[in-house]
Structure 1
Amino acid sequence: MPKKEYPLQQLSHFLPEGSFELIVRYLLHYKVHLTVSRDRRSLLGDYRHAHQNRNHRISVNGNLNPYSFLITLIHELAHLVTFEQYSHRVQAHGKEWKQLYRQLLEQFLGKQIFPQDVETALLTSLHNLPASSCADEPLMRVLRQYDHPDDKQLLVEEIPEGALFEIEGGRIFRKGKKLRKRYQCKELATGKLYLFSGLYEVLNHQI
């Protein structure tokens, strides 16, 4: 899983205009080792706390659009600040993390950093924060509109019922009916049923 550490000035290429200085302030204050990953599909970002002689480490996917990149980075910074304040005494996505994530995110709102539709979705999300940005489907739908066409992947909801699709790792499923918010899909190799979000990205499909 190749990663690359970028000089701080180059980080501005991944961020929306107006957010760089505030982000760098946090990275320098907490001595964050930030890396940009190029090819992860199942993970948007990651945080590893400081220990022994190693600094806090955050990685973010470099193929995210600038708004998704910033939101993911803020998400991981919230984990860092939570660890600084509570160590391992609280849940990873518990109320303490949610409060700190909300406080961090609010610093970037109302400053014309995000397009209006993204900001509106974020404000809605702040009322009931999910553990993962990926779990916030309304926000994900808005953010996806800003992806580069070459980076867009086919979604489970975009393939017909009964079609086969492949996910990372070579596993193949047959898409079934929608049950409330998710699609029930059968893995061909095992016959087991799994529930997929409509926004889950697939590698390829065939009818």
Structure 2
Amino acid sequence: MPKKEYPLQQLSHFLPPGSFEMVAAYLHSYKVHLSITRERRTVLGDYRHAHQDRNHRISVNGNLNPYAFLITLIHELAHLVTFEKFGNRVLSHGKEWKQVYRSLLENFLGKQLFPADVEQALLRSLHDLPASSCADEPLMRVLRNHDHPDERGTLVEEIQEGALFAIEGGRMFRKGKKLRKRYQCKELATGKLYLFSGLYEVYPAGNEVA
């Protein structure tokens, strides 16, 4: 996946106002090699621990709005700090990581770095932190309100039951019923059933697919 290197000062363009100095302090302290990558549908960020002569490496999707970018970066920094403390002896999203992630998040709250709705969603999520920001649907819905209107795609939950949609690559599906938290959708070409998060961005039938 192509990644682009930015001078550290330019990182401020991706972050909420007032957060750069705090973020830069963590990056300097842990000698992080930070890359900004284009959109990845399955992950918002990634962490690779230091190895031999390579520094800790973090990548974050560059298409995220500033608040989602900062939250994703904190998520990956929590992996780094957890590795520094415990190495590979703990689960990647276990209780140790959750404790570190909660502690890092709390350092950024109460400083007017996030809009009130995002801050409230983060405070609620602190009680039961998910393994992925994508899995925190209430937070993702709030963060989506701060995307640029032209950059918002169509969500599975916004499509009528029975309607057709496509995903990247052109695979076509028919939306089915909601089963607990996900929607059961049938792939037209194979008849196989797949479960989609309501927050998954798709292309309604008739729209051009990349």
TM-score normalised by L of structure 2: 0.94
Q: Report how far residue 206 of structure 1 moved.
A: 1.5
**Residue number in structure 1 paired with 2:3:** 3
In the TM superposition, 1:97-108 aligns within 5 A as 97-108=97-108
Aligned partner of 2:204 in structure 1 is 205
Q: What's the CA shift for 1:39?
A: 2.9
Contact kept in structure 2, 1:2 and 1:39, CA below 8 Å: no
1:128-167 pair list within 5 angstroms: 128-167=128-167
1:82-124 alpha-carbon deviations (Å, 9 max, x no partner): 1111111111100000000000000000000001110000000
Q: CA separation in 1, counterparts of 2:105 and 2:168?
A: 31
Task: Determine if contact 2:3/2:36 at 8 Å carries over to the other structure.
Answer: yes
Percent identical pairs in the alignment equals 80
**2:46 counterpart of 1:31:** no
Shift of 1:42: 2.2
Q: 1:21 is matched with which residue?
A: 21
Structure 2, unpaired ranges of 5+: none
CA distance in 2, matches of 1:189, 1:58: 38
Tell me how far apart the structure 2 counterparts of residues 60 and 16 of structure 1 sit (CA, whole Å).
Answer: 15
Structure 1 partner of 2:83:
83
2:6 touches 2:35 (CA, 8 Å); kept in 1? Answer: yes
User: Equivalents in 2 of 1:110, 1:151: separation in Å?
Assistant: 28
CA root-mean-square deviation? 1.2
SS of residue in 2 equivalent to 1:88: coil
Task: Quote the Cα distance in structure 2 between the aligned partners of 1:57 and 1:170.
Answer: 33
In structure 2, distance between residues paired with 1:191 and 1:91: 36
Matches within 5 A, 1:44-193: 44-193=44-193
Change (3 A) 1:40 1:191: same
SS of the residue corresponding to residue 108 of structure 2 reads coil
CA contact (8 A) 1:41 1:168 kept: no
The offset of 1:32, in angstroms, is 0.5
Q: Aligned letter for 1:124? A: R
**1:136 Cα deviation after fit:** 0.6
- SS of the residue corresponding to residue 47 of structure 2 reads strand
Query: Matches of 1:109 and 1:2 in 2, distance apart?
Result: 32
Q: CA deviation at 1:174?
A: 1.2
- Normalised by the size of structure 1, how large is the TM-score? 0.96
> Matched residues in 2 for 1:101 and 1:55: separation?
21
Structure 1 stretches of 4+ moved >4 Å: none
